[in-house]
A and B are shown apart, each in its own frame.
Chain A
Amino acid sequence: TQLLEQSPQFLSIQEGENLTVYCNSSSVFSSLQWYRQEPGEGPVLLVTVVTGGEVKKLKRLTFQFGDARKDSSLHITAAQPGDTGLYLCAGVRGTYKYIFGTGTRLKVLA
């Protein structure tokens, strides 16, 4: 059983549309990170959220950490083909044990 479940698993949208990706768990995490992975490469960090209820913006991407620190969301406004990739959330248990979510594969069509 995966501790962090992401939804949807796949998403194909047209350029200019908005979308939200969810990362859910029954466990509390001290912080949560979002990564993006391109084909043939390792994941690259987008953002870290630490405080329950925290909202961070990175250009057209908005990240939110749930009040209870069990879930998070990633919202993309006006998606572009360059946003295509695999999006992964990751939470930490204790100090060193980082657990990744199941992943959301996004394809943005021009």
Chain B
Amino acid sequence: NAGVTQTPKFQVLKTGQSMTLQCAQDMNHNSMYWYRQDPGMGLRLIYYSASEGTTDKGEVPNGYNVSRLNKREFSLRLESAAPSQTSVYFCASRPMEGSNTEAFFGQGTRLTVV
């Protein structure tokens, strides 16, 4: 079972470059999320998508854009990368509406901006 798949796993960017982080889930889940993880900060929500066609800002959306391409895919774009965006990025999905559902995570993308 693939679950949530993120690509790439590692990436080094120069300041000002752009890139898109890809995320796909094969569990037919409605909601999808992008988090970043920094030491001592836990996971911080960047953007989320409650369902196909909708996206909303999380705690730290500045410098990022997202696209919910279809039910399976939710991408995160950095238009002009900055060193402050060096982090580990996690995509997650949840099966349905409601506050008690489990989040399933990908294995993360480790991004370094130099």
Contacts and interface: CB of A to CB of B under 8 A. Distances in A.
Interface of A: 2-4, 6, 9, 30-31, 33, 35, 40-45, 48, 50, 88, 90, 92, 95-103
A92 B103 contact: no
Contacts of A4: 42
Contacts of A2: 41-42, 44
A40 B108 CA distance: 8
Given A42-B106, A45-B102, A48-B102, A101 B97 contact: no
A100 B45 contact: yes
A96 B50 CA distance: 6
A106 to B, nearest CB: 14
Contacts of A95: 50, 97-99
A100 B42 contact: yes
Interface of B: 4, 31, 33, 35, 40-45, 48, 50, 56, 58-59, 90, 92, 94, 97-100, 102-108
A12 B104 CA distance: 28
Given A41-B107, A42-B108, A95-B98, A9 B45 contact: no
B107 to A, nearest CB: 6
A48 B48 CA distance: 20
B41 to A, nearest CB: 6
Tell me what chain A mostly uses at the interface: helix, strand, loop, or mixed. loop
Nearest to B106: A42
A98 B42 contact: no
Nearest to B90: A42
B99 A30 contact: yes
Quick one: which of B43, B58, B92, B105 has the most chain A CB within 10 A? B43
A54 B92 CA distance: 26
Contacts of B94: 96, 98
A5 to B, nearest CB: 9
Smallest CB-CB A-B distances: 9 pairs: A42-B105, A100-B43, A103-B42, A92-B99, A102-B42, A45-B102, A31-B99, A96-B50, A30-B99
